[in-house]
Amino acid sequence: MMEFIDKPYLRWFTLFVTSGTLLCCALPVVLVSVGLGAVVASLNYNIPGLMFLAEHKYWTLTLAGILLVFMAWVIWRPNQTCPTDPNLAAACQQAKSWNQRIFWVSGVIWGIGLFFSILLLPLRQLLEL
């Protein structure tokens, strides 16, 4: 099980999935808000996967959130050790640093998608904007 957890493709997959939340949920709202609704219509017509993600935004955001929680556990789980060899230890520390950067970028992307797709409209209605 631990060999599967430490694979780098899992980290990039998480970044890819959270980027999907940005494309499906945040980008269309931002473009329509600044008057570029025709661009959104064109994107939805030319990239059919965007419509699927937008129609299933709750599932998309939930899957991305679960992956982020799992990746947080992978990155900050207890009893992680780096090898004692100096070269391998340096590579291990560099990999941990990159893992944390990818995680935080993914988390910010997920948060932007969550805000624009779920929280923005109720917040605007509450503030009567």
In total, the chain counts a number of residues equal to 129
Q: Quick: pLDDT tens for 15-37.
A: 777 777 777 777 787 788 788 88
Contacts within 8 Å (CB) and 24+ apart, 78-82: none
Q: Residue 48 in contact with residue 84, Cβ under 8 Å? A: no
Q: Is the predicted pLDDT of residue 5 greater than 60, yes or no? A: no
Task: Find tokens 């935004």 and name the residue.
Answer: 57
Q: Is the predicted pLDDT of residue 3 greater than 60, yes or no? A: no
pTM, rounded to two decimals? 0.73
Confidence of residue 6 (pLDDT cuts 50, 70, 90): low
How many CA atoms are closer than 13 Å to the CA of 29, on its beta-carbon side?
17
**In this predicted structure, what is the pLDDT of residue 7?**
65
Nearest to 19 by CA among 129, 124, 102: 102
Tokens representing 61? Answer: 């955001």
Structural domain spans, the chain? 2-127
